Structure 1
Amino acid sequence: MILKKYILSSFSNSFFPIFIVLFSIVSLVNLIKIATLTAIFDISFFELGLLYSYTVPRIIYLVLPVSFFIGAIAGLSNLTSMYELLVLSTIGLKPAAVLKVFVPYALMLSFILIVLSQIIVPKATFLSKQFIKKKQLETVLSIKVSQFGQKFGNKMVFIENKKDQTLMNIKLFEKTGDKSIMLIAKKANIENMSGSIKLNLYDGFGYFTDIKNKTQDSLKFEKLSMLNQQKDIKHSSFRNFDEYWNKIQTNSGDAWNFALGICEAFMPISLLFFLLIFGYFNPRFESNRASMYGFGVFISYVLSYYHISKYYPFSTIAVVPIFWFLLSYFLYIKKIKSRY
């Protein structure tokens, strides 16, 4: 019990600083991305916090495994640098006994990562997309008078006046490559059609310019309708396991995401013996590069399952974690067990 507390104390001294730093960096990146949405629609400080809260499960999912792996290696290597693990080895404490301290935490972490990747993160992503869709819909429905930068679909919109729900003297402009479209109408109105927005223009003109072909056309219309259709947001969960599993088997994108989540969840178990491989060394003859080596192994593990799962998602779930587990065990037998 004393040994367990001692090892976990060294582990926590490494784990929490790594986790906090990585969590802060990824959070800052996500906040910057969220802040860019203010160019599309207005959001309050509370809504900014709400959008950020939807990203927290994914941040934890990304940061937690690398923090655990590098933190455990750093904790053990620090004890080795102070000769404490080596002294314990000389009085009969085997490295396997040290590893047993981390086994329950690795299993618990794998379970947490499975829950995050397959349930919580998809749900949070769904809620985030729903919120953004709602705000975009509100923005389109509340076009303001004499304000630049407003859009309907891909077209810039400008209105001179507004009476009740009628837009007066509306202008729309869109430029795509060498082609541009200019629409001018005396009045317009907006219809909400179950999530799709319809803009009706009345009594106006349209101008179509093609610079490349040096052509310009125009038309006069009494009524012109444009539809800004919102994309349906798909969301997967375990509410119906048969449906969920059939979708994974038939959709290559869903199968790849499933494989990524499971392989990431197995990482704490697959790389478990690397904690001893990098944590044990002779500080008299070797420098403490354990964290650097550990980070290299972590990146190699991620790259291996990331690329292979694109082509063989279900095979990757079994092959990659087992391969890395056997590799780590073989290196442990060769480097650590035979020496300590």
Structure 2
Amino acid sequence: MGRVNSYLFTNFISTFASLFSTLFLIMSLAFFIQIARITSYIEITFFELFKLYLFMLPRVLLFTMPIAFFVSLAMILFRLSKENESVVIFTLGYSPNFIARFFMLVSSIVSIFLLITAIVLIPTAAELNGNFIDYKKTIAKLNLKTTQFGQKFSNWMIYIQSQKNDINGATYEGVTLYSPQINDQRLIIAENAKIINNKSNLELRLNNGKIYDIKDDVWHQADFKYMKISTIANNKISKTRSFLEYWSDIDTNKQKARDFTTYILIALFPVATTLFALSFGIVTYRYEKGFVYFGTFGVLFAYFAMIMMLSSKLFIAILSIFLLFLISSMLFYKKTILKRY
């Protein structure tokens, strides 16, 4: 790497690191909110929370790195132009094509990394994430809370007045269960109950209570000393598939086809828009102020809007959107940069 390339790359990396870390933090918070929803039906430790985050890390990288790369490249070139550094580079005999070739090489390396992330790492992480959640469900202990409505145990609505904890686990006091069937309703009131995880078979063991069966406005009451209600958790943990097996049904699975198209186009975004970044960033600041902010926002909006509209078209969308922006960036670069410098 020559001195000029080293200088450009050093300036670019400093700006990229700052912007990428900010976007990475914001995106990570958004994914942490998704992870927090999982804790509403399974119990996980702090280490397991971090493990779930690692499973989502490839998607975080895919959605933050291309945007950070494009915006950072445009902004660093604009800053160098504002400080007349780009003029000095051109005065030394380096053409804009010299800068373009270097950053096209860098963007190609970034896109290759992102393609591997999209095609290989994201499917693998998704499989591991799904299997981990299924496994946690099989060993879960229901985390029921007292004096709260809307909680469920299998098909039963459950309400608990109080809870006592000892070395044998939690004992629920004043338990009420209701099965809201249309024509045959059932109400159970028990003095106390325990939840036992018996080889993935969750059991609610009730003591000293009454059962009320309600059908056609006729009530039947029965007393019981001991009752057990069981529900079998999903213990069918699937085998982790390879990324080829994961993407094998994109021709029939519409959601997976949209995901594949979206991921590939986002991965190709740095290559498709590098020349746009150069066109917006390289200006003669003494005579023109440029439109770097409007330009970068416009390209981002147009690219991702087209992904949203055409993602169901799969390979047609990938080729058409990528080639459209790549060729447009070449023509725009030739018109705005090569004709002047």
Partner of residue 274, structure 2: 272
8 Å Cα contact 1:74/1:279 also seen in 2: yes
Please give the root-mean-square deviation of Cα atoms over the aligned residues, in Å: 3.9
Query: Structure 1: which amino acid aligns with 2:68?
Result: S
How far did 1:226 drift?
6.5
CA deviations on 1:194-239 (whole Å, 9 max, x unpaired) are x675779898535669xxxxx8665668989665663967788546
Partner of residue 72, structure 2: 71
How far did 1:305 drift?
1.8
Distance 1:64 1:128 in 2: 22
How far did 1:65 drift?
0.8
Distance 1:200 1:230 in 2: 20
Distance 1:198 1:5 in 2: 66
1:172 to 163, 168, 177: 177
The 5 A counterparts of 1:162-311 are 171-173=176-178, 182-184=187-189, 205-206=211-212, 218=219, 227=231, 230=234, 237-238=241-242, 241=244, 243-244=245-246, 246-287=248-289, 289-310=291-312
CA deviations on 1:55-74 (whole Å, 9 max, x unpaired) are 22221111111111111111
Distance 1:91 1:266 in 2: 33
Query: Structure 2: which amino acid aligns with 1:110?
Result: S
> Counterpart of 1:272 in 2: which secondary structure?
helix
8 Å Cα contact 1:174/1:180 also seen in 2: yes
CA deviations on 1:305-334 (whole Å, 9 max, x unpaired) are 222122x11211111100111111111111
Query: Structure 2: which amino acid aligns with 1:34?
Result: I
Change (3 A) 1:206 1:332: farther
8 Å Cα contact 1:80/1:282 also seen in 2: yes
Tell me the TM-score normalised to structure 1 length. Answer: 0.79
8 Å Cα contact 1:196/1:230 also seen in 2: no
Change (3 A) 1:196 1:95: farther
Query: Structure 2: which amino acid aligns with 1:99?
Result: A
How far did 1:173 drift?
3.8
What fraction of aligned residue pairs are identical, expressed as a percent?
26
Change (3 A) 1:233 1:97: farther
Aligned residue pairs total: 328
Change (3 A) 1:329 1:160: closer
> Counterpart of 1:171 in 2: which secondary structure?
strand
CA deviations on 1:95-135 (whole Å, 9 max, x unpaired) are 11001111222111111111111221222223233333333
Query: Structure 2: which amino acid aligns with 1:172?
Result: L
Deviates more, 1:146-155 or 1:92-101: 146-155
Partner of residue 212, structure 1: none
How far did 1:22 drift?
0.8
Query: Structure 2: which amino acid aligns with 1:250?
Result: T
Distance 2:65 2:35 in 1: 22
Distance 1:208 1:316 in 2: 58
Deviates more, 1:253-262 or 1:122-131: 122-131
Distance 1:6 1:143 in 2: 57
Query: Structure 2: which amino acid aligns with 1:334?
Result: K
Change (3 A) 1:206 1:114: farther
Deviates more, 1:318-327 or 1:166-175: 166-175
Partner of residue 80, structure 1: 81
Partner of residue 151, structure 1: 152
Partner of residue 104, structure 2: 103
8 Å Cα contact 1:123/1:235 also seen in 2: no
Distance 2:72 2:17 in 1: 8
Partner of residue 45, structure 1: 46
Query: Structure 2: which amino acid aligns with 1:301?
Result: Y
Distance 1:231 1:128 in 2: 15
Partner of residue 35, structure 1: 36
How far did 1:20 drift?
0.7
Distance 1:231 1:314 in 2: 37
Query: Structure 1: which amino acid aligns with 2:11?
Result: S
Structure 2 residue ranges without an equivalent (≥5): none
Distance 2:285 2:22 in 1: 28
Query: Structure 1: which amino acid aligns with 2:176?
Result: K
8 Å Cα contact 1:77/1:280 also seen in 2: yes
Distance 2:135 2:87 in 1: 60
CA deviations on 1:118-173 (whole Å, 9 max, x unpaired) are 22122222323333333344334x577x85556324633549899x9999985324
> Counterpart of 1:250 in 2: which secondary structure?
coil
